[in-house]
Chains A and B, each alone.
Chain A
Amino acid sequence: MELRDHPIELQKFRIRLAISVVFVLTLFSLLYVRFYYLQISQQDHYSTLAEANRISILPLVPNRGLIFDRNGKVLAQNYSAYALEITPNKVPNIQETLDQLSAFIEITPADRQRFMKLMNESQRFKSLPLRNRLNEIEIATFATNRYRFPGVEIKARVYRQYPEKESVSHVIGYISRINDKDLEHLEFKNELHNYRGSQHIGKIGIEESYEKQLHGITGFEEVETDAAGRSIRVLSRTLPKSGDNLILSLDFGLQEAVEKAFGERRGALVALDPNNGEILAFVSKPGYDNNLFIGGIDHENWNLLNNSIDRPLNNRALRGVYPPGSTFKPFMALAALELGKRTPEYSMADPGFFSLPGVKHRFRDWKRGGHGRVNLHKSLVVSCDTYYYSLGHDLGIDNMYNFISQFGLGKKTGIDVENEVSGLLPSSAWKMAQYKQKWYAGDTISAAIGQGYNLATPLQLAFATMIIANGGKAYAPRFVKQIQDSKSGEITDVPKNLLYTVNLKPKNLEVVKNALIDVTKPGGTAAKAAANASYTFAGKTGTSQVVKIKQGERYNEKLINERHRDHAMFIAYAPAESPKIALAVLVENTGTGGSTAAPVARQVFDYYLLGNTPDAADDSSDNDAEEHDHSH
C-alpha cells in the first residue's frame, strides 16, 4: 500500500483538467467545422432544399364515433357546417380585420372575446374559428369580398351535437377544444401524433372515458404547396379511420320516464339490470345543455351553470355522496343473519329509543313510543331504528364494515366512466387514520341506521341493491353494451364483467327478500307507492339527513329551510321473484323515502316492465302520518 503525496496528486489533477480543456476545445471546433460546412459551403444547396420544401403532410381528421342508446336512438352525432376561420400570422392587424369583417358577417362581442382568448393560447400559424355555423347568405357575402381578407377563410368543419341535451348530459358528457393539459396527457400516452389536426377531445362522461374508441385514427395527405403555402396537388393520401360507434345499455325511453317522474325536483336515479350490470337509466337532476361546451362555453352561460344553487354540473348519481339512511338496513339485516347475531325468530321490545349500557343518552326511533315487539322481518317492514341500534351494538363496527363492504359501499364500483367517487363505509381503522381518534360505541349506533359517517353515491346503492336482487353477483356497472367498428359495421358485444360473488345462505337471503317485498305491502313504509302493482315489488325506504337534529328535539319539516330538509331515498327491484331491474333513487330535500322517492321507482318499473308512460311529477306529495317522521 502506498501513501499518496498531496502536492503531486494536485499536480496530476491539474494536468488532467488541462487535458479536458483541450478535449472540450477540440470537440467544439469539430462542431464549428460542421456548422461552417452546412451554413457556408453548402448554404446554396440547403437553401434550395428549404425553398423546395413544399411538400406538406396534412392530417385528415377522422369523424368521431356516434353514440346510441340500446334501441338505436342517437345520443351524440356529427354534422357538417361552414366556419369562418383566421390564421393569425397571415393577418397583419387582427383588430382591424375583425372590425372590417363585421361589416359583412355578424360578429358578436362574445365571438370576439372567445377568438382573442383562443388566439393567445394557440400557435400563430394555426387556423382558428371566429364564427361557426355560417348561413348561406353569410357564405355568399364573404365569398364576394374574400380578396380583401388574406388569411381569412371559410372552411367546412364537422361539429358534434347532443340532440337530447339535459336528459343525458351526465351520461354522455361532452367534448371541447384540446388545451395544453390535454396535449401533455396525450404526449404522455404517446398518442399526440394521432391528434394532429384534431381540435376536440372528450372532457367528461362517456366522451372522455371512451375517447380512444370514439376518436378514430388520423389519416394523412401529402400535398405539394406553392410559395404561399396553398396546396397545388395531392401526392398521396392515407384515409383516416372514423371512430367506433358506441351502443349504450341505456334505455332512452326509460331515461325520459325518469326525467318526467322527477319533474322539477333535484336528485338522482341509477337503474341496473341485475343479470349483467348494464345501466338502464342514469339520471342526475338537474342536467345541463352539454352542447354549450363544445366550442368553448362563454362567460355568461358558465357563470349561470357554475353559480346556480341547484348545481346542474354536479353529477349526483356518480359523485354525489349521501348518508344512505334506512336503505342501509337490509344489508345490516343480512349481516345479522350471516354472522349469526340474530335469528329470524328473535324479537325485542321497542320502547322508542335505545341507550348504551350505563349511558343516559337516548338514540331515538323515528316513531315516538316505538313499534312494540319487533323481529327482523318487521324491523325492515316498518323501518324500526331501535332494532338496528341494538343490532349495531352487538355486531360492532368492524364486523359491519367487513360484511357490508362486500356490497360495494365505501369503494368504487368499477363503472366504465372516470371520476367515480368511493363514498365512505366507516371502520375503526378508518377513523384512526383520518382523525387519530379511537372508535366510540356511540359512533356504531348511528352508523347502524346508515347515518353517522356513512356516505354512499346513488350508483353505489344501485350496485348494492343489484347484489341483493340477483343473490350475490357483483357485476361491474357499465354504460357501453356494444362497440360498432366504423369501417366494417361489425358489432362486438362488451362481455358482462362479474367482479366477484358474495356468499350468502339462500335461506337468509330469502328472509330479507321477503321482508323487502312486504315493505311495499299494506303496513310497509312504501305501501302507498306500490299499491295495485301488477308485479311483485321489493324495496326499502330511507331518509338521508341533511342537518343534525339535537338531542330531545324533533324534526319538523315545516319549520326547516327547504334546502336543509332531508333527502328521500329508495332502493328497489322488480319483479321480486326474478328481478329485471334494480335501482336506487334519491330526491333531494323532500323528506321521507316512502312519500316521494318510492313513487318515482313505481313509475320507472311501470314503464320498464309494463310499458306505461308516467304522468308528470306530482309535487304536492301527500305525506301519510306514518311517513311524517325523521330517519327512516
Chain B
Amino acid sequence: MKSMKLTQNKLDIQKIWHFFTRYIDGFLLASLLALMGLGLMVLYSASGGNISKVNNQVINILVALTFMWIIANTPMQQLKRIALPIYLAGLALLVGVALFGEINNGARRWLNIGVTRIQPSELMKIAIPLMMAWYFDKYEITLRLRDYIGATLLLIIPVLLILKQPDLGTALLIAASGFYVLFFAGLSWRIILGLSALGAAALPIFWGMMHDYQRQRVMTLLDPTTDPLGAGYHIIQSSIAIGSGGIAGKGWQNGTQAQLDFLPEQSTDFIFAVFSEEFGLIGNTLLLLLYLMIIGRCIIITANASSQFSRLIAGSITLTFFTYIFVNMGMVSGILPVVGVPLPLISYGGTSMVTMLIGFGILMSIHTHPKFIRT
C-alpha cells in the first residue's frame, strides 16, 4: 500500500514537472537564467545597493518568464492565426499614439488606455516579424518581387509612425527585425546591395531630416571631446569606466565611476559600463560568450524549424536579439551613436524584458512542438 502511494506521489510530481517543462528548452532557459542572475548582481551594484530596485527587477523577470512559458506552450499554428489581428491592433494603437499620445521627454510614445499607459512600439517589436513571416508563409509558393514589395510596405508604415514620435532607436531596431525577415525569405542579393548603395547615397538627405538632438549625437560620437559637459559627457564617462576596468576589473561594487555617480543612466542603458568597470575584460569575455551561447542555440533551433513561418520568425528574433546587444555595447563603448537601447536581459526595466522573453518563448515553441512535414 505504502509503496503504491509513494509511486503515486512520484507520478504526480512527474506529471507536474512534465506540465511545466514539456515545451521548455532546458539549455536556452539555463543560459537565460544565468544571464539574468548576472544582471541582478550588476543592478545591485549599479543602483548603489538599492535592494528595492533589485526586488522590482525580480518581479519583472518573473512576469516575463510567465509570458515566455505561455508562449512556449502555444503551438505555432495558433501564433500564425493571431499574427494579422495583432499587427492590425498594433498599427491602430500607433495611429492612436500619433493622434492622442502623451508627450514625455519631448516625444509622443505612450498611449493612455484608461487603466494603464502602454507603448505600442514595444508590441510592434514582436508583431512585425510575426506579420511578415505570416505573409511570406502565405505566398511561399508564388514568391515574386511584388510580394517583397508588399512585405516591405507592412514594415515601412509602422516604422515611419515610430520615427515620427520620434523614437529613432526603436524605429531602427524594428526596421532591422523586418529586414531580417526579408533577408531570410530570400530577398535577392542584387536588391540588398543596390538598396545599401542607395541608402549610402541618401545619407545626406537623411541627415537633413534628423532632429537636432540626433545630429548632435552623431557629431559627438565622431569627437566626444568637443562637448565634454553636454552630449559628449555620456560617452567620455562610459569610456573611462570601461577603460579603467582593465583586465580583471575593480571588483563588484568597487567601480568608482559607477559608485560616485559619474555614469549616466547607470541601471538602464549604460549598465554595461558598470559591469565592464567592475569585472574588466575577463567579465566582458564571459558576457559575450554567454550571449553567443544563447545566439548559437537560437541558430540551431532556426536551422531545424520545419515551416517557412517558423524559420523566418526564428531567424528574425535571433538576429534582432543580437542587434540589441551589438547596438547597446557599441554605444556604451563609443563606436555607435547614443540611441536609447537597453542591454537585453541585464538592463533594468520590465517592458523590454517581457518583449525579449516572449521572443524566446516563440523559439522554444518552435523547437519543442511536434514538427509537421509539409506534403
> Which residues of B pack against A, CB within 8 Å?
47-53, 56, 104-106, 140-144, 180, 183-184, 186, 237, 239-247, 256-257, 259-262, 276, 280-281, 284-285, 288, 292, 295, 299, 302-303, 311, 315, 318-319, 322, 326, 329-330, 333-335, 374
Contacts and interface: CB of A to CB of B under 8 A. Distances in A.
Interface stretch (A21-29, A70-78, A289-297, A504-512): A21-29
Interface stretch (A39-47, A252-260, A463-471): A39-47
22 contacts: A1-B142, A3-B141, A4-B141, A13-B184, A14-B303, A16-B184, A16-B186, A20-B318, A28-B326, A31-B335, A34-B330, A34-B333, A38-B242, A38-B243, A39-B276, A42-B243, A46-B242, A49-B243, A49-B244, A50-B244, A120-B52, A125-B261
Given A28-B326, A125-B48, A190-B105, A39 B261 contact: no
A125 B259 contact: yes
A46 B240 contact: yes
A563 interface: no
Contacts of A89: 48-49, 259
Given A34-B335, A36-B281, A46 B186 contact: no
A16 B303 CA distance: 10
Specify the main secondary structure of chain A where it touches its partner.
helix
A50 B104 contact: no
Specify the main secondary structure of chain B where it touches its partner.
helix
A35 interface: yes
Contacts of B240: 46, 49-50, 53
B186 A13 contact: yes
Contacts of B104: 188-190
A591 to B, nearest CB: 42
User: By CB atoms of chain B within 10 A, which of A12, A17, A28, A50 has the most?
Assistant: A50
Contact of A122 (B50, B276, B299, B322): B50
User: By CB atoms of chain A within 10 A, which of B48, B302, B318, B319 has the most?
Assistant: B48
Given A24-B322, A38-B333, A56-B260, A4 B140 contact: yes
B247 A40 contact: yes
A212 to B, nearest CB: 16
Given A12-B186, A27-B326, A17 B144 contact: no
B86 to A, nearest CB: 25
Contacts of B311: 13
A38 B106 CA distance: 34
A573 B310 CA distance: 75
Nearest to B237: A53
Given A12-B186, A35-B281, A125-B259, A46 B48 contact: no
A88 B335 CA distance: 37
A21 B281 contact: no
A28 B257 contact: no
Interface residues of A, number: 48
B257 A40 contact: no
Contacts of B52: 120-121, 180
Contacts of B257: 50, 53
B246 to A, nearest CB: 5
B247 A39 contact: yes
Contacts of B243: 38-39, 42-43, 45-47, 49-50
User: By CB atoms of chain B within 10 A, which of A39, A189, A229 has the most?
Assistant: A39
A155 interface: no
A12 B188 CA distance: 11
User: By CB atoms of chain B within 10 A, which of A16, A88, A120, A189 has the most?
Assistant: A16
A126 B47 CA distance: 11
Contacts of A45: 243
Given A1-B144, A50-B244, 20 more contacts: A4-B143, A13-B184, A16-B186, A17-B315, A20-B180, A24-B295, A28-B288, A35-B276, A39-B245, A39-B276, A39-B280, A46-B240, A46-B243, A47-B243, A53-B260, A56-B260, A89-B49, A124-B49, A188-B104, A229-B260
Contact of B48 (A24, A28, A124): A124
3 closest cross-chain pairs (CB), A and B: A46-B243, A123-B48, A50-B244
Contact of B244 (A12, A47, A121): A47
B51 A43 contact: no
Contacts of B284: 32, 35, 39
A38 B335 CA distance: 11
B56 to A, nearest CB: 8
A359 B65 CA distance: 62
Contacts of B142: 1, 3
A136 interface: no
Nearest to A47: B244
A124 B47 CA distance: 9
A125 B47 CA distance: 10
A88 B253 CA distance: 14
A50 B240 CA distance: 6
A46 B330 contact: no
Contact of B246 (A16, A23, A47): A47
